[in-house]
Amino acid sequence: MGFGLNVVLHDVVYRAAFSAAVPMQSRWRLLRRLGWEGIERCNIRDGCLIVGFDLTMVDSYLNRQVLIDASAPVHVGSRVQFGQRSSIITSTHEIGAHAMRGGTPRTAPVTVGDGCWIGAGAMILPGVTVAPGCIIAAGAVVADDTEPDYIYAGIPARKIRALT
């Protein structure tokens, strides 16, 4: 099989794995066979996108169109829920010169602790640790580490109140 056909075949299999044709309760098993060995017992809706293979995630839920950039290690604790179109980003660029501001690429790991709820459209940026039990409000952009059992909202995300 030629290189071009191999790439096309991989693309077709990848698209099928994240399509509505695969039940969300069994998608994790298919993804493990395709190389995501760190995924276990997860419900993953169709339309999600996982880039890179450095992902560990157990007993969690990804709603539609969740993006996980696993270019650097991503660790998602157990019983974490992700709302639609939420994202974890591990890659960025240094600020470059005037001619091209997107300079040297860099990556940083992301950790999401047990029991968190990541709201729809929320974004977790490179190098961030979301502490266990946090709620990240819809649309929030988390640029700094959080403390356990708080609600965070806004751009950038700020501590709103403690959870009991």
Q: What is the pLDDT of residue 1?
A: 43
Which structural domain range is residue 152 located in?
Answer: 3-162
For the residues of 97-126, what is the DSSP string, one character each? -TT-SEEEEEE--EEE-TT-EE-TT-EE-T
Identify the CATH number of the domain in which residue 148 sits.
2.160.10.10
pLDDT given at position 27: 92
Look at residue 5 in the predicted model and tell me its pLDDT: 57
The number of distinct structural domains making up the chain is: 1
Model pTM above 0.85: yes
Confidence (pLDDT) at 10: 66
Element (H, E) at 58: strand 55-58
Q: Which residue numbers are catalytic?
A: 93
Q: What are the φ and ψ backbone dihedral angles of 98, each rounded to 5 degrees?
A: -50, -40
Output the tens digit of pLDDT for each of the chain's 164 residues.
445 556 666 677 778 889 998 999 999 998 888 888 999 999 999 999 999 999 999 999 999 999 999 999 999 999 999 999 999 999 999 999 999 999 999 999 999 999 999 999 999 999 999 999 999 999 999 999 999 999 999 999 999 999 98
Give me the residues paired with residue 124 across strands.
88, 142
